Each structure stands twice: as C-alpha cells, then as structure tokens.
Amino acid sequence: MCGIFGLVSARERQDLGAILVEAGQRLAYRGYDSVGCATVNGAGVIDLRKDVGRVAEVSERLRLDQMRGQRGIVQLRWATFGAPSHRNAQPHLDCDGDMVGAHNGNVVNNVQLQDRLVRQGHTLRGTNDGETCVHAVEHHFDRNGGDMVDAIRQAYDDLAGDYALLITHCDENRLYAIKKGSGLVAGLGPDFTCASSDLPSILPLTRTVLRVHDGEILVLSPEGVRIIQVDTGQEVDREPVEITESMESVTKGGYPHFMLKEIHEQPTAAAELLHLLDQSVHVDRFLEILRASEPVFLVGCGTSYHACLLGAYYLNQIAGRLTVPMLPGQFITRAAGSVGARAAAVFVSQSGETKDVLNAVKVARSRACRTLGVLNVIGSTLTHASETYLPLACGYEISVPATKTFMNQALLFLYLAYRLADRDPAALDAVPGLLESTIAVTDAPARRVAETLAAWDELYYLGYGITEPIALEGALKLKEITYTHCEGIFSAEFKHGPLSAVRAGYPVTFFTAPDDVDMMINHVNEVTCREGRAIAVAQDNDVLRSNVQDYLAVPPSDPWVFPLLATIPAQLVSYYASVARGFDPDFPRNLSKTLTVD
C-alpha cells in the first residue's frame, strides 16, 4: 500500500526535506519498495529525487533531507502497476516538467489510459499508474487554459479505481489533492497546510485536521484548505477537528491492537486484490503455466499452508485440476524426487522470506519445475526466486498472526479457480461487502464464544471438506495468541480417537459449509450426547441451530465464498480469547513475523 504526504508553506523552508523524510518514515509501516520526494522553491524550480529502497538509505544516497523549498511531496510506493524501479518510483513529472504529483491506490484502467495518453502525444517514462494521474491532469490543464481545479475534475472522470492524488504546478504556491476511495486527510498549521494518506504523518506537525470525503478536491495553500466537490464544482464548508488520541492509538487506526485493525481491513484489502487481478497481465501468465503443468503443487508454511489447502479444494472442485497442497519440507522429501519440467509449484508466503519456502523453491528450480509465487511483500526474495508472482495487495501486515494476508491468499486461489474454469470472476465482486457484514454480525457473538473458550487449555476445531482448512487455520490462530492447545481436524476423524477428550461442558467448534449440514449434525451429536458443548460456525440453518449450544451465523453467500466468511469469526474468537487471557495478540511470545531460519 503506497503512502503520500505533501506540505505547502508560506516561506522557503530549509527543513522541508527533513519534514518530508520524517513523514515518509511514518508512512513506512504501510509497506513499500521505493521512496521519492519532490520540492518546489519560490522561483518554481522542481527538485525531484527518488529511487528503490528504504527511506533511510534512499535519503542518505540522494540527500532527501537536505531538499528545500516552499512545498513538497513525499511518496512511498508499494509496487502494483509496474515493477519497483527508479522510473516507476513516485512522484512523477508531466511531459514538460512543470507539474509534479504522486498517488496512493490503484488506477484500474491504467493500461488503457496510458495507451490513450501516448496516442495524444504524452511522453510517459514508466508504467506506473501514478504517472498516468499526472499526465491525465496535464492533458486537461493544457486544454482549459491552465485551471488546475478544472483539470483535476476532468481527470477524475478519466481515472477509474480507488486512489488519492497529490499534485502541484510550479507556477502556484498551492498543492492540490483529490480523494477517490483511498485515504486522505488534511492538516492545518500556523503558516502551512498539509495532506496525507494517513494521519500519523501529519500529527507531529499539527493536531488540527480536516476530514476529506470521496469525490472532493483539496486546494492547499499556506493560509488554508479549500474543499471543492468534483461533481458540482461547489465549495464545501467544513470545520476542522482537533485530534486528541495518542500517536500509538492513531497508528492503530483507533483499534486497541493491529490484529483487530487488520481483521477490519479485510474487506478493503479484498476489493484491492480483485481490482488488481482484473488488471494484471501477470495473471494470464500465471494461468498459462498452471494450464500447461501437471502436477501442480501449492506450497507454504503455517497460515499460508492453510491457504494452500483451501486453494487445492478450489482448484480441484471448481476448475477440475488436481493440485497437491504441501508443506515445504514435504515437497522436498516426498515430491521433489519425481518432479520435472512438466510440474509447477506455487509458493505461497506473506513475507516472501520464509526460509522453509525458499529451500523448497531452490529444490524445485534444480529439478526444472516451474516456480510461481504468491506473496505480499514485493521485492522480497520470493519475488526474485519465482518465475512470475502475484501480489496479495494487503499492505503491510504488522500483527504476527496473519489475517488479511490469509484472506487474500484464499481469495486469490478462488479467483484463479474461476478463471481456470472459465467462470466470470465478476461474481466475486460481492466478497468485500460480505466480509464487511460478516465482521459486523459476528463480532459480538465471537466475543461471547471467546469467553467460553478462554477457560479451557485444550480444544478442538472441526471442519468437513472445504471447511477443514478453516478449522486448521482457526486452531492455529488460537494456539498462536492464546497459548491454548487447539487441534484442527477433519470432523469425520474425531470419532477415531480425539472424541475421548469430550466431557461435561467441553466445547468443540464445528465449521459447517451449507452443503455439509446433514453430515455435520452427526458429528455434532457425537459430542453433545456425551455432554459436550457444540459451537457452530455456519450460515443460518434452523436444524443445525437446534443441535448446538452456540451459533456464529455468517451471512448467506455462494458456497465457495463461505470458507472466507467463516474465517472471520475464527479470527475474532482468537483475538478476543487472547485479550481475555491477558495477552498481547500482536506480538505472541517466541514468534516472529518473518522466519528466515530453518
């Protein structure tokens, strides 16, 4: 997820570069692969410096902190359109170098717009959609006699997708910003104003902020901020607000922990992923390799492995492709000996740095097996080690327990299965809204179930068929952050041994897909007739409800989407149980977000 910040001051500032670098550092938690700053001085001279790398190293190399001027923009780029590179790093200049701007988000018609702009005579230096935004504004500016607001209003209609843009022209001491689906907030200081994709980069400068809504343009000058509606051109009157929360609470978006914040970010992350996949040229390449290969392995560790398990169900049941989910060590010891150039392995890793996974990639490559990556951190080792990769587009996941990255891994496999089966993936556009309503309806019941579970030190989560991966994932999440032992198993296996754990009040959780209710009622009764307590995670179903003690009902959906929705109450139960037991779910003991050791 990219981040942007811009400031316009009444005077030439010697410390402008230092302010931009500090704002960049505060945006860094969102994750990024390149950094850039543009400043404009009183004479209208634009100084643009940018490159691939971390804020501190790029700053040291290009002396970003020594940049001066009256106004400036800093951008941290998380590559989606166009590889991480100097020319795709933001900010971007327009054709004649008198405008500079940077964006945050995705312009989904980027390829078509770039073609059109090139035909109209524009010189584009890279493939990044932020550059497209700048040229789209320039295009209208050159035709309307130099009116920035009017040019931005027209460019807004050209640019499809969710984004926020900051842009300035060298002749005016103003910054312009637009918000369309991505975060944007403005700050008001004594002799400056500023705007950013998120609050933490503004708060060290001022606590007086203006909220911005989608479809609004900001005109920032040292004296104040004007808000103009894109559709009517009318000015909006809005009172600024004073921010009183601590910086820590603001960084967590007002949530007590990153984990809860990241659970709530899932609908947005899912929408971003679907946009991205619809536009990405890499998807076709990926599908081409999957179509041409046999067998196909899905390889990952921990939560990423559970996404592989679910992915294997999707690819098998929807697309009729036999895919084999494996842990990296299993791939090396059980499969690698017999794979060759006909085989493909999809390596799934949030961090892209997990050593077990990289070991398996190495072995796969040595056998000429096709290597594909699914990862969240662009620029990670897996991006280079795989032939081609698909990004998860989740932004930075700070909390050690993986939540939004699991959701997007699973959704990505569902999308690929639809494409392989020649089904229209537009059917998945309902997923973000369903995730949102699932969070809303399961939050309170999940909190109650968490109180029940928090009293036990060993538990079982059961799934049947397509919900087995969710039972395993829910159990892992619970173990990871509550330090309770929880085993996730195929529900039909429970009677073959673990059933002996059941006694009065013993809670067993059943993840039940709509088509498996009848089967699951048998498994539920094996527990309840021995005085156990059955908890169901399912779509609403009267018969199932009458057989269990607690019910976490998720909204009705397509059966393939059900496992995604059922994941949410599992995440929430773990989160609330961890808090109830007095632990910090974000940083569980002994664990690390990125495991680069064997």
Residues with a known catalytic role? 2, 593
- Check binding of 354 to ligand M6R (CB under 6 A): yes
Residue-wise burial string across 90-126, b where 16 or more C-beta atoms lie within 10 A, e elsewhere: bbbbbbeebbbbbbbbbbbebbebbebbeeeebebeb
Applying CB under 6 A, which of residues 266, 350, 408, 512 lies at the interface with ligand M6R? Answer: 350
Enumerate the H helices of 207-342 as residue ranges. 247-251, 258-264, 266-279, 281-292, 302-317, 328-330
Instruction: Give the range of 32-40, 177-185, 302-310, 496-504 binding ligand M6R by CB under 6 A.
Output: 302-310
Q: Which 3 state secondary structure label does DSSP give 34?
A: strand
Distances (CA, A) of 266 to 22, 408, 565: 28, 8, 11
- Check binding of 381 to ligand M6R (CB under 6 A): no
DSSP-assigned letters across all residues of 371-404:
EEEEESSTTSHHHHHSSEEEE-------SSS--H
Q: Judge contact between 343 and 294, C-beta under 8 A.
A: yes
Minimum distance of ligand M6R from residue 480's CB (angstroms) = 5
- Check binding of 595 to ligand M6R (CB under 6 A): yes
Query: Residues in contact with ligand M6R, total (CB under 6 A)?
Result: 15
Q: Which 3 state secondary structure label does DSSP give 446?
A: helix
What phi and psi values does residue 504 have, to the nearest 5 degrees?
A: -55, 125
Partner residues linked to 575 by β-bridges: none
- Check binding of 124 to ligand M6R (CB under 6 A): no
C-beta closer to ligand M6R: residue 192 or 389 = 389
Task: Compose the 451-480 pattern: x for residues touching ligand M6R by CB under 6 A, - for all others.
Answer: -------------------------x---x
Instruction: Give the range of 43-51, 100-108, 258-266, 350-358 binding ligand M6R by CB under 6 A.
Output: 350-358
Applying CB under 6 A, which of residues 106, 266, 303, 482 lies at the interface with ligand M6R? Answer: 303
- Check binding of 31 to ligand M6R (CB under 6 A): no
Contacts (CB under 6 A) with ligand M6R, residues 234-263: none
- Check binding of 357 to ligand M6R (CB under 6 A): yes
Q: Judge contact between 166 and 203, C-beta under 8 A.
A: no
C-beta closer to ligand M6R: residue 153 or 306 = 306
Instruction: Give the range of 41-49, 259-267, 296-304, 419-427 binding ligand M6R by CB under 6 A.
Output: 296-304
Q: Judge contact between 524 and 534, C-beta under 8 A.
A: yes
Instruction: Give the range of 41-49, 330-338, 349-357, 359-367 binding ligand M6R by CB under 6 A.
Output: 349-357
**Alpha carbons 166 and 60: distance in angstroms, whole number:** 24
- Check binding of 301 to ligand M6R (CB under 6 A): yes
Q: Judge contact between 14 and 65, C-beta under 8 A.
A: no
- Check binding of 351 to ligand M6R (CB under 6 A): yes
Instruction: Give the range of 90-98, 155-163, 300-308, 554-562 binding ligand M6R by CB under 6 A.
Output: 300-308
Contacts (CB under 6 A) with ligand M6R, residues 384-413: 400-402
Using DSSP bridges, classify how beta strands 370-375 and 388-391 pair: parallel, antiparallel or unpaired. Answer: parallel
State the amino acid at position 322 in one-letter form: L
- Check binding of 126 to ligand M6R (CB under 6 A): no
Where along the sequence are the contacts to ligand M6R (CB under 6 A)? 301-304, 349-351, 354, 357, 400-402, 476, 480, 595
